[in-house]
Amino acid sequence: MASELRTLLVGYGYAGKTFHAPLLRATPGIKLTHVASSQAAQVKQQLGIDVTVLADYPAAVQLADIDLVVIASPNDSHAPLAELALRAGKHVVVDKPFALTFKEATALTALATEQKLLLSVFHNRRFDADFLSLQQLLNSAQLGRVAHLESRFDRFRPQVRERWREQAGPGAGLWFDLGPHLLDQSLVLFGLPHSITASLKTLRPDATATDWFSVLLDYSHFSVTLGASMLAAAPSPRFTLQAQLGNWQKFGLDIQEDQLKQGLTPADAGWGIEPQPGLLYQADHVTPYSTAVGCYQHYYAAIVAAINGKGPNPVPPLQACSVMQLLELAEQSAAAGRTLPVQPL
């Protein structure tokens, strides 16, 4: 293997262009050499003439001179492209969601194990500043026993946009777009719930895919509510934690996505620093509590270390399979209108 991981980025839509390309280029040990995209002129203009651009995705993931394939194409292509790449002997990172079904995800996990290759899923929201602060707060136990956590990811987009994520089709809709983020964060904090109760709705007049959801994860002595809406004009908390000795509440989204959209990188001053701290409510006083800095760059640094045998996979595929399990169970719960048990993998 080369001293730098020769990397192919598959897809140059929003995820590929905004998240993966700049983070890959900012990571020591990775060299972004190829991009699979139909937008060759845009890729060359933004990434430079040294990047090879190919339009044929299935052929690109099997190129002989590639070590790592990063799949940021539409959701319905994740599993087939990942399978082709693994069978071609490549390490693979897949953008969320891992696949369209739990069955596809477990098959890919087994294949990666058989091929002795790294397979990881880009659950970047593990590296949000507010989530890391929440994790540290829970680990400190200063609020005592958890009673309830509400985690929301709201937007105000009353008009349906002409993009695949908002149109009817496999892997489209708000639940498959934002659900994986919220589920993965809950699993990191608390593990698998005992049961799941979901409501998935299509509320905008011209919408054909889910644009609102509320999902309850029951952990017996406490619960987690996950929610998102495309019609949230009023600000809502990103997180609200209720516990026996107080509450923690955080408004505003992690800043790193906006920084990437502005062309900033982890090397720039102010990267990942929360502009709107969370607030800790205890007895009769309120204090700011935002202890962490966002660090999306840690994901690909950990990928390099894992491939070189110097650290763990930052998001092992079995963990991402649990996210897929809950994504599917939520759809089944919403369709049946009832609570469903969650079985350990």
Tell me the pLDDT band of 2, cut-offs 50, 70 and 90.
Answer: low
pLDDT, mean of residues 199-218: 95
Backbone angles phi, psi at 112, to 5 degrees: -60, -40
pLDDT, mean of residues 181-191: 98
Residue 267 has pLDDT above 90, yes or no: yes
Tell me the pLDDT band of 1, cut-offs 50, 70 and 90.
Answer: low
Backbone angles phi, psi at 330, to 5 degrees: -65, -40
pLDDT at 161: 81
Cα(29)–Cα(58) distance, rounded to whole angstroms? 25
Beta strands in the chain, from DSSP E residues, in sequence order = 5-10, 30-36, 52-54, 68-71, 91-95, 119-122, 146-152, 195-201, 212-218, 223-229, 237-243, 246-251, 279-282, 285-288, 340-341
Contact call for residues 198 and 217 (beta carbons, < 8 A): no
Residue 189 has pLDDT above 60, yes or no: yes
Q: What's the burial of 275, exposed, middle or buried (CB within 10 Å: 0-12/13-18/19+)?
A: exposed
Matching residue, tokens 């993009």? 163
pLDDT at 162: 79
**Helix (H, G, I), strand (E, B), or coil: what is residue 71?**
strand
Percent of the chain whose predicted confidence (pLDDT) is above 90: 93
pLDDT at 186: 98
Tell me the pLDDT band of 323, cut-offs 50, 70 and 90.
Answer: very high
pLDDT, mean of residues 147-161: 94
Tell me the pLDDT band of 245, cut-offs 50, 70 and 90.
Answer: very high
Q: What is the mean pLDDT of the chain?
A: 96
Residues of the chain with CATH 3.30.360.10: 125-295+326-341
Q: Which CATH superfamily is domain 125-295+326-341 in?
A: Dihydrodipicolinate Reductase; domain 2 (3.30.360.10)
Residues of the chain with CATH 3.40.50.720: 5-122
Q: Which amino acid is at 217?
A: L
pLDDT at 167: 82
Residue 52 has pLDDT above 60, yes or no: yes
Under CATH, to which class is 5-122 assigned? alpha beta
pLDDT at 197: 98
Beta strands in 99-211, from DSSP E residues, in sequence order = 119-122, 146-152, 195-201
Backbone angles phi, psi at 240, to 5 degrees: -135, 115
pLDDT at 160: 87
Q: Both tokens of residue 48?
A: 């430079």
Percent of the chain whose predicted confidence (pLDDT) is above 70: 99
Q: Both tokens of residue 286?
A: 């309120």
Tell me the pLDDT band of 138, cut-offs 50, 70 and 90.
Answer: very high
CB atoms within 10 A of CB 268: 12
pLDDT, mean of residues 30-57: 96
Nearby residues of 123 by Cβ (< 8 Å), 6 or more positions away:
96, 180, 181, 184, 315, 319, 320, 323
